[in-house]
Structure formats: structure tokens, C-alpha cells
Amino acid sequence: MATSLKDRLGSVGVWMNVPAAVPLAQLRDAARAVEELGYGAFWYAETPLTREALVQASLMLAATERLVFATGITSIYSRDAIALHAGAAAIEEAFPGRFVVGLGVSHAPAVESRGHDYGRPVATMRRYLDALDERGAEGSPPRVLAALRRRMLELARDRAAGAHPYFVPVEHTARARAALGEGPLLAPEVTVVVEPDADRVRERAHRFMKRYLALPNYRNNLLELGYGEDDLAPDAPSDRVLDDMVAWGEADAVAARVRAHHEAGADHVCVQALADGPAGAVEQLRALAPLLL
């Protein structure tokens, strides 16, 4: 019997945003360390500053033995459905069962910087999935959707293996599970800093949050969850929203937040450790591994 996607991913994975300026050797070292620690999956970003997502998957898969790699996410504006299908199928053939395609509509500024017009998110994603389905499912890896609000979550439920929400508090995980139902995969990203000093945490977390609080997709999701405009000022987010979005403190406190997402309905939690480079992230992941795995 084939192993299910949830079993292949395990209950906890990692999430990293590694710019292309970081040497490939460091990226491979981080992937091997994550595998040795026992995390089930390695989710990674694709942005204008990173390596191309399918190439990066191939490079990391070749450097490891068991770890599953997942795009978190690749924008549907980065390549058309024919190109994605062909590339993902080739990876699946070479590394069966070890690749997951996370798809998202990205954000208007990023899409426009590529020379595209940013379309209506759900309708645009549906058309892209239609084009993928025309290529056939045989030989393709599973796909999940970046989904925050109800309509995209329902599309993830109906047209994908599940959802990969990013930049969300525990309350969102509970809402996402209700929208998805019991079957589909729910794999939220959770940002962490294993550091008990509040001032150090806030300095690092403010830089991280400024980027995302300036994007309407994330702001609108948090407003829908009950945060106020004052909470979401990009240059000065409230302590409330910072503490809800970034799990920090000693390792046991951070691990408790990850478990809270599981209790709220997550099947797999993608832990993103804020650090200066992959090696620093791995050190935090090493501290968390005995408590999470």
C-alpha cells in the first residue's frame, strides 16, 4: 500500500527562505542537517531573490536520501501550467514520493514586477488548476494551495491535497480546519525564535513582520481574524500581533505553540526559525527537535 502524503510529511517539518546569494553548499548542508534531525519535510520559498523552485528541489533532493521537499510556495505567475506539470513530473519520476508542489497566487507587487497583471486570486487559481488537470494527474506529485481565507481554502479542499497557510496564528488553523473538513492536509507555517530575551526577539521579528504586514492578502486575513489596524502597522506592529505570529522564548515554550497548531487541527506544522542564515536556523531546529519529533 502506498504511503499517504500525511505519513510522508510527518507531523513537523521546516520552512526556510534561502536567497540565491547563500552558497549552494550551505543550503545542502542545511537540508542534510534537517534530515538527520528527523524532520519530515523541508518547505522553501520561491521569490525573485531565490533559486528557481524546481531546480532547487532537484539540487536538494539529490543531496539527501529521505526528506520530502515542498515549494512553499511557487507562484502560478512564475511559469505556465504546462511548464510546471512537465518539471514537477520529471522530479517525481527521479525522486518518487519526495516532492510536493505548493502553489499560490503570490501578491500584486511581486506579480507586477514580473510584468503580469494580478488577477482575481480564486478565479485565477482555478483556471491554472484547470490547465494543470488537462495535462493529466498520472506521474504528478501532490499539490497543495497557499490558502488563507474561506474561498481559497475551499478550492484547496476541492482541487488539491490540502492547504499551506503562511503567516497565521493558531486561531486561523482552527478556522482552516473547519473550512477544509477532516480529510485534506492542513500544513500551516509557524515562525519561531528560540530566544528568551524579548528585546532581541522583537528586533528580529519586527524586520520579518514589516515585510508581510505591508501586503494586503495577509493584512486582510488578520483583519478578518479580529486584529485592528493599529495592530498591523508595518513599522510598529502591536505586541499582541507579534506574539501571536511569532512563537518565541525557551525551546519548550516554542514547542508548545507548535503543538497548539496541531491541537487546532494541523496535520503538519512547518517551523520557520528566524535566523541569520541557514546554519543559525538549523541550530534552533536542533534545540526544538527533541521536543517536537
Q: pTM for the complete prediction?
A: 0.98
Torsion sign across C-alpha atoms 258, 259, 261, 266? positive
Assigned domain for 161 exists: yes
pLDDT of the residue at 2:
75
Cis peptide before 73, with omega less than 30 degrees from 0?
yes
Strand duo 269-273 + 246-249: pairing: unpaired
* Each residue's pLDDT tens digit, 78-115: 999 999 999 999 999 999 999 999 999 999 999 999 99
In a domain, 34, yes or no: yes
Residue 115 lies in a domain: yes
Number of domains in the chain: 1
When pLDDT is averaged across residues 207-235 and rounded to a whole number, the result is 96
The residue type of 255 is A
CATH number at residue 277: 3.20.20.30
Whether residue 1 is predicted with pLDDT greater than 80 in this model: the reply is no
Residue 142 placed within a domain: yes
Residue 37 to residues 18, 217, 239, 249: CA-CA distances in angstroms?
19, 34, 32, 21
| The residue type at 43 | W
Position 63 in a domain:
yes
Residue at 194 is within a domain: no
Q: Is residue 288 part of a domain?
A: yes
Q: Mean pLDDT throughout 227-233?
A: 97
The domain containing residue 70 runs over which residues? 5-187+268-292
Q: At what angle do helices 121-134 and 150-159 cross, to 10 degrees?
A: 10
pLDDT tens figures, 26-72: 999 999 999 999 999 999 999 999 999 999 999 999 999 999 999 99
In a domain, 235, yes or no: no
